[in-house]
Amino acid sequence: AWKKHSASGFKNKEDFEAAAIRHIETTLARSLYNCDEGAAYGGTALAFRDRLIIDWNKTQQSHTFADQKRVYYLSLEFLMGRALDNAMLNVGLKDVARVEGLADLGFRMEDVIGIERDAALGNGGLGRLAACFLDSLASLDYPAWGYGLRYRYGIFKQEIINGYQVEVPDYWLDFNPWEFPRHDVTVDIQFYGNVRKYNDDNGRQVSVWENGEIVTANAYDVPIPGYNTPTTNNLRLWSSKAASGEFDFQKFNSGEYEQSVHDQMRAETISAVLYPNDNLDRGKELRLKQQYFWCAASLNDIVRRFKKSKKAWKEFPNQIAIQLNDTHPTLAIPELQRILVDNEGLDWDTAWSIVVNTFGYTNHTVMAEALEKWSVPLIQHLLPRHLEIIYEINLHFLQYVERTFPKDRDMLSRVSIVEESNPKMIRMAFLAIVGSHKVNGVAELHSDLIKTTIFKDFVKIYGQDKFTNVTNGITPRRWLHQANPKLSELIASKLGGYDFLKDLTLLHKIETYADDKQFRKAFQDIKFANKTRLANYIKETTGVKVNPAALFDIQVKRIHEYKRQQLNIFGVIHRYLALKAMSPEERKKMQPRVSIFGGKAAPGYWMAKCIIHLVNEVGRVVNNDPEIGDALKVIFIEDYNVSKCEIIAPASDISEHISTAGTEASGTSNMKFVLNGGLIIGTCDGANIEITREIGEDNIFLFGNLAEDVEDIRHQHTYEGVLIDDGLQKVFDAIHDGMFGHSDEFSALTNTVVNHDHWLTSADFEAYCKTHDAIDEAFKDQEAWLHKTILAVARMGFFTADRCIEEYAEMIWNVEPQKIKQNG
Ligand code: 26Q
């Protein structure tokens, strides 16, 4: 059986209850007699926090003494979700807290856990990946820190009003027991100003960046507990504050009170809000300020720690690996070069080899519109010294390219870090490639595509070895054990314990139970219970009653044209029209369905908002149509986030991962749904391809055109006047007739399909609908369906984030795990 590791802090019910009550009465200054769920949450969280702190301190001390290489994961997004449940499970004392502790006080664990607000410091896949990686790094005992921004407002809360998305600010910090302000850890960050040059005594030219505006970065630390290990890593988030220099006091005293307050607010604005765009580059000056603020603070911190070790600079890349989560932290590259050359006096080439050997860059998109660029005048204004350094990096790089490919003149303008447009632009992805020793994509298809399209020239220049793949994964602790405790328990009962949570490949041992009647029944019962839980949630939040025996068909993710929620909702309308055309007897024979959508649209993404509106209008019509009843229900779940995903992922029969082939870099919710015993309808895109390879093509529903054919099909549609699909035309006719409200509301949505069909909505429509018909058929044979789902779960071992971290550690970081001694 599974052993709880023992350390200081509470170990039993009495200890826990005493600790929780002490916190309620003292830390929270509440009387036990008016202890509500909020106070119970606070007391429980603080009791567990005490436990974490002990392990956290021990871990950090031990990592400092051991003096081994460390990993720093730089990400502008960490989509953490809730922390308490995760802390209880990782520490291994959830049952102690539940069974006796909280019950004694008169509370249900689920209610107490539900009090906590999500830490929603991210948009979607990229931010959640960072959170899963932190969990794996700690669980596998790697010495690693995350660095990010402490946004006052996370991703907005979504409300649906009259079918439209409305954004509400997410002020999440009023009670956050999981963060620790480090008042002694501050970094002054400079913006604007000018560069002064002079020659030092040795005749060497020195650059000084001066006369800038200073903003202070304050550190807040969040403990990251590993699962069933004392290792507790650190996530350091930076918050911006006005620098309290004499200058400000001067203003203050001379009566410029307003100006002084204004300066404060301007400084605090930097870390105020997460940019809500996902897979689209729409950055303004403030976004660039965020990026530099966070990169500069993090690097200063890392360099400061390194300097304490008194090691030679050439040891830097042997002590430190920094991973760049997309191009958002690319400024860390010129910043480290600046520190080494301007502040530490290293020569350019020595400094540059340190830089390149330190950084690795992960790319998350092939789509050109999502590749980050910043205008040269903006960088010139905000970061004058960095612009010089970027130009110098580019000069060295282009000289190398010219020497290596003397005949290819076009190559230079194609690969230049500076795009010669008006205004000139800095191509951040190119800078990230040039400044890193490894570049990776996040699924095989994606890694191949970037090598043959957007980064093709760089493969020629640097060779194949610089480019690699690390297929994404998810943490089974949160996405199986925490979200689906019943399934986790069933698996553990067959495998003789919970070892599979740390070695997910052990799941293969449940393959033999795919044919076991009893196991199938247990598996089916768990799925039904999870669907019932979701049905209750839907009833409470939308008022719509859905039948848990119906087929639950779920698509939850950010709303984006390339992810094709429009294909899904057009398919739903097609189904509705078919049902309406049937006799009541025929309709009775159809497989009942619940189509469930969820996801946020970027506030400025009009087309995405149209899709949300259409889904809600279709729901309004279908759900109130007495002829339809249980045959079809259409649900939009408001404010989809991590904690809602924990209820949703275990409740699918089918989930949709239907991006236009070649556009979804990986996808990670596909993994969550399959791991929880649901099947997939998907395109040959991202990680769907590897999921198919692992679980077998009999256990997934694939459809649609392939990535290699997409360009041709777009061209045909636009230039050869291809008619749109017949079935889809009927759907459009219904929309135009006003079946779902005024058709003007949706004309943009239908027009782009007619005019461009850029996302192959029409080209893939027939295959999509036929595949859904096949799903209905397959679902009727429940025994065969269960066989598929059990096999699929058994074969998902590859998709644990632990495997990703081991691949990064070996191929990119060259770091080793480091066990913390128990009970030090
Ligand atoms: C860029 C510039 C300015 C403002 C915002 C942004 C920005 C912000 C977030 C650009 C992109 C993102 C997020 C991208 C993202 O989530 N990508 C997803 O990453 C997942 C993890 O690798 C993949 O599984 C998904 O396929 C990919 O879409």
- Pocket test of ligand 1: the residue of 76, 278, 664, 688 to mutate, having most ligand atoms within 8 Å of its CB, is 278
Give the residue, by CA position, lying nearest to ligand 1 atom 19.
Answer: 126
CATH says 547-807 is which class? alpha beta
Task: Note whether 131 and 80 are within 8 A (CB).
Answer: yes
558 is catalytic: yes
Tell me what pLDDT residue 2 has: 38
Would you state the pLDDT for residue 247? 53
Q: How many CB atoms neighbour CB 807 within 10 A?
A: 17
**Concatenated DSSP letters of 116-129:** SPPEEES-SHHHHH
Q: Is 129 in the pocket of ligand 1 (CB under 6 A)?
A: yes
196 to 205, 276, 336, 381, 434: CA distances (angstroms): 10, 38, 19, 15, 27
| Residue 798 in contact with ligand 1 by CB distance below 6 A | no
CA of 564 to the centre of ligand 1 (A): 16
Atom number of ligand 1 nearest to Cα 283:
3
364 is catalytic: yes
C-alpha 325 – ligand 1 centre gap (Å): 9
pLDDT at position 693:
98
The residue among 531, 784, 563, 547 whose CA lies nearest residue 676 is 531
- Distance (Å, rounded) from C-alpha 731 to C-alpha 162? 22
On average, the pLDDT of the chain sits at 95
Q: What span, in angstroms and rounded, lies between the C-alpha atoms of 322 and 146?
A: 10
Amino acid at 167: E
- Give the pLDDT of residue 7: 44
With a 6 Å cutoff on the Cβ, whether 364 touches ligand 1 is yes
CA of 656 to the centre of ligand 1 (A): 19
Is any atom of ligand 1 closer than 6 Å to the C-beta of 599? Answer: no
The CB of 369 under 6 Å from ligand 1? The reply is no
- Which residues neighbour 71 within 8 Å (Cβ) at sequence distance 6 or greater? 137, 142, 143, 144, 145, 321, 322, 323, 808, 809, 813, 815
Q: How far is the CA of 668 from the centre of ligand 1 (A)?
A: 12
Class of domain 67-82+117-469: alpha beta
Give yes or no: 289 in active site: no
Tens digit of each residue's pLDDT (9 = 90 or more) over 457-477: 999 999 999 999 999 999 999
> How much is the pLDDT for 249?
61
Ligand 1 centroid from CA 370, angstroms:
8
Amino acid 251: pLDDT: 66
Please identify which of the residues 330, 475, 668, 789 carries the catalytic annotation: 668
Number of H helices, E strands in the chain: 34, 24
Read out DSSP for 183-248? Answer: EEEEEEEEES-EEEEEE-TTS-EEEEEES-EEEEEEEEEEEEEPTTSS-EEEEEEEEEEE---HHH
Q: 558, 600, 788, 803: which one is catalytic?
A: 558
Compute the chain's Rg from CA coordinates.
28
CA dihedral in degrees (816, 479, 362, 597; nearest 10)? 180
> Which CA distances in Å does 292 have to 210, 337, 357, 720?
16, 14, 21, 48
Q: Which of 335, 330, 338, 333 is nearest to 429 (CA)?
A: 330
Contact present, 160 and 638 (Cβ < 8 Å): yes
DSSP track, 522-534: HHHHHHHHHHHHH
For 214, other C-beta atoms within 10 Å of its C-beta total 16
Q: Which of 51, 117, 563, 600 is catalytic?
A: 563
Cα of 586 to ligand 1 centre, how many Å?
Answer: 45
| Identity of the amino acid at 689 | I
Q: Which residues of the chain are in CATH 3.40.50.2000 domains? A: 67-82+117-469, 547-807
Judge whether 557 counts as a catalytic residue.
yes
Query: Can you read off the two tokens belonging to residue 673?
Result: 């749904």
Spans in the chain with pLDDT lower than 50: 1-7, 246, 824
pTM of the model: 0.97
Ligand 1 pocket member 769 (CB < 6 A): no
Residue 62 exposed, middle or buried by CB count within 10 Å (0-12, 13-18, 19+): middle
The distance in angstroms from the start CA to the end CA of the chain is 24
Residue nearest to atom 25 of ligand 1 (CA): 667
What ipTM, to 2 d.p.?
0.99
Alpha carbon nearest to ligand 1 atom 11, residue: 279
Active site residue 542: no
> Could you tell me if the CB of 668 is within 6 A of ligand 1?
yes
Instruction: For ligand 1, atom 13, name the residue with the nearest CA.
Output: 278
Which amino acid, residue 504? L
Residue 6: what pLDDT? Answer: 42
287 lines ligand 1 (CB under 6 A): yes
Is 788 an annotated catalytic residue?
A: no
Q: Check: CB of residue 777 under 8 Å from CB of residue 491.
A: no
